[in-house]
Structure 1
Amino acid sequence: MERTIFSIMDEEKAGRQAIGAIGYRHDSGSYHDSLLHDFEFLILVVHHGLENSELQIEHCMSGDIHYQLLHVDSHAIEKWVTAGDNRELVQYFLHGDVIWDVDGKLKAFRSYINAFGDSLKERRKFKEFAKFLKVYVEAKRYTSEHDLLDAYYSVLQALKHYARLELIDQGILPESSVWEQVRHLNSVVYKLFDELTDSKETLEQRIQLVLLACEFSLTSKMADCCSLLLRILGSRKEPWSVQELMKLPELALVKDELPLVLRKLVYRSLAKESIKSQRDGSGEGREIRYRV
């Protein structure tokens, strides 16, 4: 890393809330995505308590070098890791060079993310499981309607979530190159990926085979992957309504998939229904609530 380019970073330039900066240099001739454009260098300035929590972008020059300066809050990085979002930026954060650090705070925060501790792991696992379940159900529906191309796409997405779950179980933080990560594990999901994409069977046969394996995986992983939700369901005596659960910040990342997950937990006898009578303008209704 060329220090002359990144030596510009200090508190005055980055802002007083910054805890440090990470520099990342792309290989010469490598593909630059729409975020990086033609910038060879990227500087990621990490803040604690950034007033505007959204990613802030600046385009700058140092001599004749163009570089991109990104300001991001540490809570946003943690959220990306939990949600699996902005994988390229997470990769830059994890693998770039620390070029400026305030009292070791940046290195400590990166060590925390790299450790991929139980709290981060549990939230990320539940999120990937919920997405896995959703696209699996979509693939089953497309297959029943003989819409095989859409079914194939959904199955491929399901395998990606499955792959991330395997990595998480190994204590590995999933990154953007998930198939390269699982290829070295000699994993079941990589064999299924091969079966789906490179087999002499018909497309429908390949899809059906992978769906069967996905169904088994979903069933066997459900209790472990849904531990966060099951703990919430058991955290009070009164059963939870789906509306109450969807408002919880811990479940915000799976808000769209939560109703489906709840029904599957009930179907597998991991959660129970509780009926509550209620009155509205049209008469008496019966609301389904959930508990363990």
Structure 2
Amino acid sequence: MEDILRPIYQERASQLNTLGVLVVEKKQKSILTDSFDVVLLIIVKEAEKPIFIKHYSYNDKKAALHIITEAKLQKWLLLGTNRKIFEWLDIAKIIFDRNEYVVNLKKELQDFPFNGRKVKMGLEFAKLIRRYIDGKALFENQQYLDAYNHVVHSLHHLARLAVIENGLHPELTVWHQVKQMEPEIYKLYEELLYSEEILEKRLELLFLASEFLIHSKTSLGTAHMIDVLGKKEYWMFNEIMQEAELIPYSVDMAVLLEYLIDKHLVEVINIETKGQGVFHRCYRVNK
């Protein structure tokens, strides 16, 4: 296989822009390679497009070539928006590695420094709060099927948060990981899926149990956000949205901020405007 595909990656490996070339081979009954027999992953410093994908056929088999920029890879690793990349990096065979870039990257992922974990926990917690609050609103409006969808997603974020808290990256089989680490979250998921209670009752019980678990994760889940907000006396909302460290939260920021206010971790500061009786609504960490 490698001999056949070598001409595809060999030219790339000789270019100074290329940081690493990896090969992921399909394993039996695995979903990692999206049904391809092999995935060639090439990491480059820069490119016109952050992702370039090409498909090949050979000997009744098929291969996928993925060329990604270092910046795109780092974004995936931070936001967790491409879960397969973690497993690709873990199991791939390294064909070319400039100045041990890939080796050092894999070591960093294995070590999972606490600051990196804190950011990822913050992002998962923000998504968790969004799903939980939206789901509860739908439940209260008796939109039970839509509420169910949100609860499933909120439990997934809660599970991923628990895995990160335990120092690991969430894999595609996150429920297998959680079953070993925090069985109470796994049990909630089972209750939602398999309970014989009517859907309304299942959701009611899940919201109560989830509220307790979310409360227990609040300190860890909000640590990064609170640290950043603590750097200034107070913030206007637009300033928060433009802060480089907080940009990944942007979609869920308004909901997360209201949650922090509700939990007395952040307080609202009203600053006068030129309009009588109208104030700028600003935010600061409650000390």
Is the partner of 1:226 in helix, strand or coil? Answer: helix
Q: Provide the rounded CA distance (Å) in 2 between the counterparts of 1:14 and 1:133.
A: 47
Structure 2 unaligned runs (5+)? none
**Which of the residues 101, 119, 144 maps onto 1:148?**
144
2:23 pairs with 1:20 = no
Q: Provide the rounded CA distance (Å) in 2 between the counterparts of 1:32 and 1:261.
A: 33
Per the TM alignment, residue 285 of structure 1 is displaced from its structure 2 partner at its CA by 2.5
Write the mapping of 1:221-232 to structure 2, written as runs, cut at 5 A.
221-232=217-228
Per the TM alignment, residue 245 of structure 1 is displaced from its structure 2 partner at its CA by 0.4
Q: Deviations over 1:182-215 (max 9, x none)?
A: 1233521101011111112221111111111211
Q: Provide the rounded CA distance (Å) in 1 between the counterparts of 2:38 and 2:19.
A: 20
- Aligned residue for 1:218? 214
* Cα contact 1:128–1:164 (8 A) shared by 2: yes
Per the TM alignment, residue 14 of structure 1 is displaced from its structure 2 partner at its CA by 6.3
Q: Deviations over 1:18-50 (max 9, x none)?
A: 1111101112565587xx4x53111101123x1
Is the partner of 1:184 in helix, strand or coil? Answer: helix
Q: Which runs of 4+ in 1 moved over 6 A?
A: none
Q: Provide the rounded CA distance (Å) in 2 between the counterparts of 1:93 and 1:32.
A: 11
Structure with more of its chain in helix, by fraction = 2
- Aligned residue for 1:47? 44
- Aligned residue for 2:254? 259
* Cα contact 1:39–1:66 (8 A) shared by 2: yes
Q: Provide the rounded CA distance (Å) in 1 between the counterparts of 2:251 and 2:204.
A: 26
* Cα contact 1:78–1:113 (8 A) shared by 2: no
* Cα contact 2:25–2:39 (8 A) shared by 1: yes
* Cα contact 1:130–1:258 (8 A) shared by 2: yes
- Aligned residue for 1:291? 284
Write the mapping of 1:102-141 to structure 2, written as runs, cut at 5 A.
102-141=98-137
Is the partner of 2:96 in helix, strand or coil? Answer: strand
**Which of the residues 83, 86, 95 maps onto 2:82?**
86
TM-score normalised by structure 1 residue count: 0.89
Give 1:80's aligned amino acid.
W
Q: Deviations over 1:166-193 (max 9, x none)?
A: 1011111012221122123352110101
Per the TM alignment, residue 164 of structure 1 is displaced from its structure 2 partner at its CA by 0.5
Q: Provide the rounded CA distance (Å) in 2 between the counterparts of 1:42 and 1:153.
A: 33
Give the root-mean-square deviation of aligned CA atoms.
2.2
Per the TM alignment, residue 11 of structure 1 is displaced from its structure 2 partner at its CA by 5.5
Shift of the 276–58 alpha-carbon distance from structure 1 to 2, 3 Å rule, reads: same
Shift of the 240–100 alpha-carbon distance from structure 1 to 2, 3 Å rule, reads: same
Give 2:262's aligned amino acid.
Y
Question: Percent identity over the alignment?
Answer: 25
TM-score normalised by structure 2 residue count: 0.90
2:58 pairs with 1:67 = no
Q: Provide the rounded CA distance (Å) in 2 between the counterparts of 1:82 and 1:47.
A: 18
Is the partner of 1:279 in helix, strand or coil? Answer: coil
* Cα contact 1:126–1:225 (8 A) shared by 2: yes
Shift of the 224–108 alpha-carbon distance from structure 1 to 2, 3 Å rule, reads: same
Q: Provide the rounded CA distance (Å) in 2 between the counterparts of 1:39 and 1:216.
A: 43
Per the TM alignment, residue 63 of structure 1 is displaced from its structure 2 partner at its CA by 6.7
Give 1:22's aligned amino acid.
L
Shift of the 6–122 alpha-carbon distance from structure 1 to 2, 3 Å rule, reads: farther
Is the partner of 1:70 in helix, strand or coil? Answer: strand
Q: Deviations over 1:261-292 (max 9, x none)?
A: 11111111111111111226xx6620111111
Structure 1 unaligned runs (5+)? none
